[in-house]
Amino acid sequence: MQTQSSLIERFAGVPVIPVLEFSSVDEALHVSEALIAGGLPVLEITLRTPVALEAIKAVAAAFPDAVVGAGTVLTPAQLQAVGEAGVKFAVSPGLTPALAVAAQGAGVALLPGVATASEAMAALEAGFQFLKFFPAEAAGGIPMLRSLYGPLAQLRFCPTGGIDAARAPSYLALPNVVCVGGSWVVPKDAVAKGDWERVRTLAREAAALRKPS
């Protein structure tokens, strides 16, 4: 398995990982350019649209210094496909036994999702210490992460789902949170209008959020 410690290092460098859903390659290039210029170079492009793989390749080629990963990776076949597309990481909303086995032989580091103590223990047993906490707000948010820190202090999380600029700082203040994920930096109406400046501004504000030292 591609080590998760390199993943933690990469993710710790940025407070926010934008979770992205693109409807065209052109849109992917504009949004990514704005996010990177705003200071968010680690991008999770989800496999929720038909152009996702093409967008991943185009963004990685256009912005070689960015760290381009794939999100919504649900199956071993998808993990293989995004690995072949050259992603630097893959994110899944959950973890299945098949995906855990596939991650062992994959050339790409997987950030699997968990929402409960039992799921976190199963992920730990499968070799994962860095986890996506999803859906963060719906699954208990900050009190849940604080509670998990007691018995499972060795785990680190990237909470995602329902987080926005107002909630992010409280998550980032938790000792077991490396960074947060979210789509708030790319509002759908801004994309519809081609308002890349707004995306850049939101990215700049998100990049200025820091883990308290």
List the catalytic residues. Answer: 44, 132
Which residues, numbered 151-180, are part of the site for ligand 3PG (CB under 6 A)?
Answer: 160-163
Q: Which two tokens stand for residue 130?
A: 């860095």
Note whether 18 binds ligand 3PG by CB under 6 A.
no
Integer CA distances (angstroms), 80 to 50, 90, 104, 113, in order: 17, 10, 12, 18
How many residues of this chain interact with ligand 3PG, rule: CB under 6 A? 11
- CB closer to ligand 3PG, 58 vs 163: 163
SS3 at position 145: helix
Which residues, numbered 72-131, are part of the site for ligand 3PG (CB under 6 A)?
Answer: none
Which listed residue (15, 141, 159, 182) binds ligand 3PG by CB under 6 A? Answer: 182
Residue corresponding to tokens 């926005």: 164
- CB closer to ligand 3PG, 112 vs 161: 161
Helix (H) / strand (E) containing 111: strand 109-111
51 sits in the region (left: phi over 0; alpha: psi -120 to 50; else beta) called alpha
Note whether 183 binds ligand 3PG by CB under 6 A.
yes
Note whether 140 binds ligand 3PG by CB under 6 A.
no
Minimum Å distance from CB 190 to ligand 3PG? 14
Beta strand spans in 155-199 (E)? 156-159, 180-182
Which residues bind to ligand 3PG, rule: CB under 6 A?
A: 19, 71, 134, 160-163, 181-184
